Structure 1
Amino acid sequence: MAAAGQRRTGRARSGGGTTRRRSARPSEKGLIPLLAALAGEVDRAVKQPPTRGAARTKFQVVALIVREERARVKADDSLSQAKRDEESRRLDGVATMLAKIAARDTSLLTLLADDARVTDSARAYKRTVLEAAGREVEEEPEPEPAVATTAPEADKRVVPQSAISYQLANPFLAPDFSAAQERAAAQPRRLAGWELLDPLFRSFEQDAPGARACMELPEPGAPSAGTMRLPAGRTLMPHQAQLVAAAARGHRTFLLADEPGLGKTAQALLAAQAADAYPLLVVVPNVVKTNWAHEVAMWTPQRRASVVHGDGDEVDAFADVVIVNYDILDRHVGWFGDLGFKGMVLDEAHFIKNQRSQRSQHVLALSERIRHRTARPLLMALTGTPLINDIEDFRALWQYLGWIDDEKPLGSLMSALESTGLIPTDRGWYPAARAAVVDQGIVRRRKVDVAADIPARRVADLPVELDGPLGRSIRAAEAALAERMVASYRRATAARPADAEGIDLALARQIAAAELKDASSKKTGDNVFTMVRRIGQAKAGLAADYAVQLARNVGKVVFFAKHVDVMDEAERIFAERGIRFTSIRGDQTAKARKEAVSAFTEDPDVQVVVCSLMAAGVGLNLQVASNMVLAELSWTDAEQTQAIDRIHRIGQSEPVTAWRIIAAQTIDAKIAELIDSKSGLAARALDGAAVDDAASSADVQLEALVELLVDALRAEGEA
């Protein structure tokens, strides 16, 4: 009975209901006309985005059958050549329909890959189609389970010396038997024998008016010891404090799907503090790796963070928070699994949606190790877009969080499903199952939902590290510039009395002004202007990558840059990632400019507009977006503000966030600080407050050089 129920539910989902199945009576029409009819249904569904899971399943099944039929026709010796040609031509017609559909929704292309995952519901629907066409259907063998990648990559694995020292200092990790007891306690009773994962996924495809998208969160009360110790000057917005309060009260798994700009990083770090989930492993995209270390210092300054680069030669395995990017996780998964982490955070967690990928296998293996070593560890998946292509994207995220495995729900989720008293064929199953999953820890807030909590406009800095030859050359050029100014300073002070102490700031300003004059007249090679331009070139790819993440998370994004080569590189990356874009540049005609603006504001498929800071900084209304990426810094706060005002305008219904990409440990960071200081001065002046004349008229370029010189002199004195 259970098996029959499972088969019936699988057919109902994939076929889209009895009305859709009526359109195809294949016993009368044959298989190929049926496939053409189903392709037509998919085509109509794709014209009304988003493409839902049922249409995606139908598309994949039609493609699979077409592929198999082609092979059958080619190998069938009983067919005449004329019949074989006719069948091939008709199949090609269906394949052409599929190609046109995929061109309209390019996310469907992944379903055509040879290694594309075929879900249980897709296999069930394929069987339904073939049976309806009068074909005899053999039982398909169960797909082989994905095997965690281990041995083939052993030669890539590294164990940093710091990790060896940590293991020697902590030779034994005490087992926590309560973890095993908790796993053993969740055995199905009423639901034993039922296929539950597919109905669970389908519960999120059902129309559910009024259904909760977010777990019930407690109202944050007075901070208690060890939970919300905030550093001086830091405050949490109410929606952030709610999640931290949930962690403080014992909740340990979160799919944190807040929109970008709502402070997911701070919530994760403070939840780890509330749960005492140290040591904590944080896995992130490369572009935000440095920013996470910065946020650790800002929100939990009593905790040490260590960032893993390359083979981890400089990592501190004794740190409270270890931060690594997805790209190098394969090298470190071995010693990570042995370290004894009590918590794990995935940023941009949709990176693991493909369960077959090496990246996903490593992440899932690590989370499994952590759950077996620690009872109720803190596991958090941070993503503004938990679903990208299909409801199946949930699978890897839920498995990482320990809610399910390859076959069934686990732990508290299974207990919650049992407590509903329902089975998948009952009328109330889907809303109850959906609520049970949400209560495991799905937290979703949009900007518009918490608009009262956040500023109407804010600038969020995203520090990045410049790696590779270009980054090294920029740091070398900056060091050479500082040495040149230090040499000038030393020559000027050589005749001074030996007992003169301190740095002469007036002299430092004179030397910086002379350097700036030489740079403006192009008398020197490496100067502040050429360095800033090279920094912009080095940041271009990282800034574009972050814009791609934003576009996939929240929709339209405005991308600002100063230089043409930075815009070119960003556009190359957008094209490579499948992100549609348009451009606004200084060399455009008025007509081309108007068409570019219309494409961005009116075409839902155009996700990014790449703008010149000079050409598009004024006179444009781009408020269809609420997120902006500033890939390069301007020299004035006014120029930056004008750019932000392209989206922060009357009529904007959402809070605006400008993500400013800053090259850490370079002059770029000094320029950002100076721009912010000028912003404060301008505000005080407009408010009628007294402003120091010298400070208000100071030039950002000059002050940046002064700070570079002073830092070099101090470093020389300390040495």
Structure 2
Amino acid sequence: MPTTATDVQNVRTQQRRRRPSSARRDEDAPIIPILARKVREVEAKAQRGKLGPTNRVKFQVIAFLVREERARVKADTEITDAVRAELLKRLDGVATILAKTAARDTSLIQLLEVDQATSPVAKRMRRDWLLESGAELPPDELIITDVAPAVAPVVPAALAERQVVPPQVEARRDANPFLAPDLELRAPVSSARRRLDGWELMGPLYKAFETGAGGGSATMELPPVPEFDRLSPKGLEVMPHQSRFLEAVRAGHRSFLLADEPGLGKTAESVLAASVADAYPLLAVVPNVVKMNWAREVERWTPQRRATVIHGDGDAIDAFADIFIVNYEVLDRHLSWLGSIGLKGMVVDEAHFIKNLTSQRSQNVLALAARIREQVRNPLLLALTGTPLINDVEDFDAIWRFLGWTNGEKPGPLLMERLDATGLTPADKSFYPEAREAVISMGIVRRRKTDVAKDLPDKLIADLPVELDDDYGRSIRQAERELGARLAEKYRRIVESRSHRALEPGEIDEDIVRLVAHGELEDAKAAPAGSENVFTMVRRIGQAKALLAADYAVQLQRSVGKVVFFAKHIDVMDAAEAHFAAAGLRTVSLRGDQTAQARQQAVDAFNNDPAVAVAVCSLTAAGVGVNMQASSNVVLSELSWTAAEQTQAIDRVHRIGQDEPVTAWRIIAAHTIDTKIAELIDSKQGLAARALDGEAVDPQSSDSVQMSALMHLLRQALGA
């Protein structure tokens, strides 16, 4: 859309008021001080590794203006040779900083090409700087026309050959070959000009957040807690802060950056939001480590809905499900059919994963979101992340694009309308707090544990099931089946040797089950190294989970700060520490072979040094006598054999003096004995509580977790 002469006059008037005194002191080249200031801003961002899209455009504009100004100075016959030499020297200084910046990020070099096309954003930036310097520009440089964005295909050519269509999806299409049209898409879109149409706004929007303009929490105004809980299934209860978010969905809001801290129930909120908005079919794009947890949360909170998890080529999916759950790594194979089945909503979990706009996974997510907006006028779009900003405020860029708030170059129609309603421009200092509030009102919700502490239990154990779907994981499940078969064979031999009573079909003799399990447990304790038994199996599960657990701890740390990471075995601790180091996190370690002095130094560093991000602790060596209240989040990468050991580990942070509710994230390998062990640990805790309360105790409560786990494997093998 072109900029009118009236708009340009307003721009020129406002910016002349703001012209710095340095511009008045440089009558021969007033643009140079502006370029010097801008190039320092870009250099500072590059040094911190925060060179986002806006600063890349800024780099390009500085380079073009340096080139133009150098040619002008050389051709100016009205200045002396001494002045010319001084001006060229100053321009060389700007060019030198540009070169050093490009050396840090070589992708900037292509922006220096003479024939590099400039975007409307770059043209506006160049115009605004020249107007700030007092230059009189010809009309053709004042009027800048936006180029209609090219519509990118959902499936790029490079991925076309990788596309798969699961057989069940074909069945769904055959059952309903026509998508119901969304007639609201025909609603006319206003084409009226707005006062801010001629301004470059993305830079000011980022600046408004970078400076925290206006202060206050970045949370939109939410409705009050409803009088009645109309959403929770039987046995569950939505917390007040979750209810307020869901009431906003009920009121018609459909796009959110849900940036609550981990442990506040973002997954449950998203599942219930889809139900409130009737946004089915819904796509959830999630990290692999939480894929199984998503399926479990759908079943818990909306049991009337069906969820299906997409693995590999999706041969086993339920194409008639309401919710499709896919991890980032396999999304590229399923773009074609996901873009054509009529999705009405999309959730992106750990949305900071898409911050790199050049990555294929970011492009996949954005292309699918764009297709959904083409098909549905007001789809449900949720970006979930406790860490929307990792390196720079421009990390917002991809998330805002996903939500449809901006297109990367300028705000979308709704955000532009809210910015225009302020009556201000970026030339006004008061524009920035108003702009920040306008973006927040689009759907940013950020709550911390301390904000909603009264809603939370003082200690929460949150299970995160993970799927071990590689060859190593499959070998573990095969070993479990073989162990179960071995136990079943022993059981059958004993049953066949008895002559006094025959068992009814399907009947299991629990005394023999206990006898076989006890014998296996004793054999395992005495077994030589390298033999396959319940202890080596659980250790292998811990090794298989190590990197998944460490990766989750990295994401958690970026959101909530310090994290305590517990493991049972040294090799798991070593693998986790290597992963943390590769992620740039500083750690301390608490192990059994440390002296008391070394251990205390590690604890003090964790509690007092802001640079220490993670404490990697042995579940047995650091489970007692250690105080780590600097964190309120614990990751249990391996399960203990006793409930007491787990409790002791969590109580390193859950103790007198802790100001925040504590969350323990328990990483559990789905479809393995790990799941049963977690269940047994919880039952032991429940039994202890009942015993202390004077209630009756199950006669089997004296069985160890190992014994109970083996009995479970045997019953499973017998088909019970």
Instruction: Confirm or deny a common fold (TM above 0.5).
Output: yes
Whether the 8 Å CA contact 2:288–2:328 is kept in 1: the answer is yes
Q: How far apart in 1 are the matches of 2:241 and 2:194?
A: 38
Partner letter of residue 181 of structure 2?
P
Q: How far apart in 2 are the matches of 1:222 and 1:210?
A: 31
Whether the 8 Å CA contact 1:61–1:122 is kept in 2: the answer is no
Larger mean CA deviation between 395-404 and 555-564 belongs to 395-404
Partner letter of residue 605 of structure 2?
A
Matched, 1:364 2:352: no
Map of 1:711 onto structure 2 = 716
Q: How far apart in 2 are the matches of 1:275 and 1:37?
A: 45
Map of 1:521 onto structure 2 = 526
Map of 2:170 onto structure 1 = 164
Q: 1:612 aligns with which of 613, 618, 633?
A: 618
- Aligned pairs for 1:65-214 within 5 A: 150-181=156-187, 184-185=189-190, 187-214=192-219
Q: 1:259 aligns with which of 254, 258, 261?
A: 261
Q: Percent identity?
A: 54
Larger mean CA deviation between 268-277 and 403-412 belongs to 403-412
Q: 2:605 aligns with which of 588, 599, 603?
A: 599
Q: 2:558 aligns with which of 539, 552, 557?
A: 552
Partner letter of residue 192 of structure 1?
D
Whether the 8 Å CA contact 2:627–2:653 is kept in 1: the answer is yes
Q: How far apart in 2 are the matches of 1:65 and 1:26?
A: 21
Q: How far apart in 1 are the matches of 2:100 and 2:607?
A: 30
Secondary structure at 2:383 match in 1: strand
Map of 1:341 onto structure 2 = 343
Whether the 8 Å CA contact 2:15–2:132 is kept in 1: the answer is no
Secondary structure at 1:611 match in 2: strand
Whether the 8 Å CA contact 2:15–2:427 is kept in 1: the answer is no
Whether the 8 Å CA contact 2:586–2:611 is kept in 1: the answer is yes
Residues 61 and 308 of structure 1, relative CA distance in 2, 3 Å threshold: same
Residues 9 and 329 of structure 1, relative CA distance in 2, 3 Å threshold: farther
CA deviation digits over 1:670-692, x for unaligned, max 9?
11011111111222333x32342
Residues 99 and 566 of structure 1, relative CA distance in 2, 3 Å threshold: farther
Whether the 8 Å CA contact 2:42–2:58 is kept in 1: the answer is no
Q: 2:513 aligns with which of 508, 511, 526?
A: 508
Q: Look at both structures and tell me which one has the larger radius of gyration over its CA atoms.
A: 2
With the length of structure 2 as denominator, give the TM-score of the two structures.
0.83
Whether the 8 Å CA contact 2:61–2:125 is kept in 1: the answer is no
Partner letter of residue 308 of structure 1?
I
Partner letter of residue 330 of structure 1?
D
Map of 2:425 onto structure 1 = 423
Map of 1:467 onto structure 2 = 469
Whether the 8 Å CA contact 1:186–1:414 is kept in 2: the answer is no
Q: How far apart in 2 are the matches of 1:484 and 1:10?
A: 82
Q: Any gaps of 5 or more consecutive residues in structure 2?
A: 1-5, 71-88
Residues 433 and 38 of structure 1, relative CA distance in 2, 3 Å threshold: closer
- Aligned pairs for 1:284-295 within 5 A: 284-295=286-297
Deviation at 1:6, TM superposition (A): 6.5
Whether the 8 Å CA contact 1:60–1:111 is kept in 2: the answer is no
Deviation at 1:277, TM superposition (A): 0.7
Q: How far apart in 2 are the matches of 1:572 and 1:122?
A: 42
Map of 2:703 onto structure 1 = 698
Residues 681 and 602 of structure 1, relative CA distance in 2, 3 Å threshold: same
Residues 141 and 357 of structure 1, relative CA distance in 2, 3 Å threshold: farther
- Aligned pairs for 1:212-231 within 5 A: 212-223=217-228, 228-231=230-233
Deviation at 1:358, TM superposition (A): 1.4
| Count of residue pairs the alignment pairs up | 681
Matched, 1:249 2:255: no
Map of 1:77 onto structure 2 = none
Deviation at 1:405, TM superposition (A): 2.0
Deviation at 1:362, TM superposition (A): 1.3
Matched, 1:533 2:539: yes
Q: 1:643 aligns with which of 646, 649, 657?
A: 649
Deviation at 1:456, TM superposition (A): 1.2
Q: Any gaps of 5 or more consecutive residues in structure 1?
A: 73-85, 103-108
- Aligned pairs for 1:294-305 within 5 A: 294-305=296-307
Whether the 8 Å CA contact 1:423–1:429 is kept in 2: the answer is yes
Residues 504 and 191 of structure 1, relative CA distance in 2, 3 Å threshold: same
Deviation at 1:177, TM superposition (A): 2.8
Deviation at 1:548, TM superposition (A): 0.9
Deviation at 1:336, TM superposition (A): 0.4
Matched, 1:565 2:571: yes
Partner letter of residue 706 of structure 2?
Q
With the length of structure 1 as denominator, give the TM-score of the two structures.
0.83
Deviation at 1:127, TM superposition (A): 10
Deviation at 1:593, TM superposition (A): 2.7
Residues 99 and 557 of structure 1, relative CA distance in 2, 3 Å threshold: farther
Deviation at 1:521, TM superposition (A): 0.5
Deviation at 1:216, TM superposition (A): 1.3
Deviation at 1:393, TM superposition (A): 1.6
Map of 1:328 onto structure 2 = 330
Deviation at 1:99, TM superposition (A): 12
Residues 516 and 174 of structure 1, relative CA distance in 2, 3 Å threshold: same
Residues 42 and 600 of structure 1, relative CA distance in 2, 3 Å threshold: farther
Map of 1:661 onto structure 2 = 667
Partner letter of residue 198 of structure 1?
G
Q: 1:310 aligns with which of 309, 312, 319?
A: 312
Q: How far apart in 2 are the matches of 1:573 and 1:12?
A: 53
Whether the 8 Å CA contact 1:254–1:443 is kept in 2: the answer is yes
Map of 2:81 onto structure 1 = none
Partner letter of residue 525 of structure 2?
S
Residues 569 and 142 of structure 1, relative CA distance in 2, 3 Å threshold: farther
Secondary structure at 1:251 match in 2: coil
Whether the 8 Å CA contact 1:7–1:124 is kept in 2: the answer is no
Q: How large is the Cα RMSD of the aligned pairs?
A: 4.4
Whether the 8 Å CA contact 1:27–1:132 is kept in 2: the answer is no
